[in-house]
Structure 1
Amino acid sequence: MIVNRLQIPSLLDTLEKQIKQTIVSRRLTDPLMIGIRTGGVWVAEKMHQRLAIKQPLGLLDISFYRDDFLQIGVNPNVKPSQLPSQIEGRNIILVDDVFYTGRTIRAALNEIFDYGRPKQVVLAVLIERDGKQIPISPDCVGISINLDAGQRIKLTGPDPLGIEIQSVDVAA
């Protein structure tokens, strides 16, 4: 399935509904929402507003936690993470734009746990695509899609949010 700009509001509605259901079913009290830079922050800003979450939105830059850090070097656009000092025992909703291999989420969890041990973490993603490589899965999803080996999906934005399907060199 190809996602287009017109579907973004529908995907956000689906994701919002799933997060609301998860907040109730997992009894998340006073959750902290954290968006992963860059696209995850864009989605988190919209969800944070829609869900009227009281705590300020946390921002996470996982550049130094990536497992390919030694291969690709430092991202020239690294921005500091902005998390509250108190993570210990908190209910967290971690938001990203696209879930693919699971490696970004692993890196995000490593960084979060460096700040403290949360009570629980709910993973919400706008788009889940095939290609999981490690045993992590999202709890809340706007849409699940399958792409060909030579394709990747990228969220563009922040206003308006859009989706690009890009061709990549599969030998890379």
Structure 2
Amino acid sequence: MRQLLAPALLVAGLLLSGCAGFQPLYAQPGVTRDLGAIEVTAPAGRTGYLMRQHLDDAFAKNHSVAPRYTMDLALAEARYPRGVRIDNVATRYEYVLTVTYVLKDLPSGAVARRGRVRVELTYDSADQPYASISAQQDAQDRATDEAARRIELELAAWLGTTAKVAAK
């Protein structure tokens, strides 16, 4: 046992020494605060509602502070039949959600950042109508959750870089 412990400690020491200077993204000053101060404006409809909810959750929306940014969203959805049976009925669908966002600084309204996120996923289509509707709604929920996660990462990286530049 002692013979295995020494090499393991050596490898762990080498790995940790390679991480010198590493700082987690959310340890940058202001990243979490600025994400929580984004007011999201989404289009009407189920997908817009889901998108706004997932973004508020991803940003850890702080309702007790005045918004520093506003984010306008534009959504584009498409559904393509895949896995067509011999009777020309699709057994699977591909759902594509494209989210375009514009982040504006408040109160000036100047555009701070623009971006676009595209999420593609598939879901099964059941012969029962309500099961098929449920599967499609689940796909919308999963796609909006993934799009919100990607937007959060893009903005956190941007805010982290901006904070580093501002600190210098």
TM-score (norm 2): 0.28
Structure label with greater radius of gyration: 2
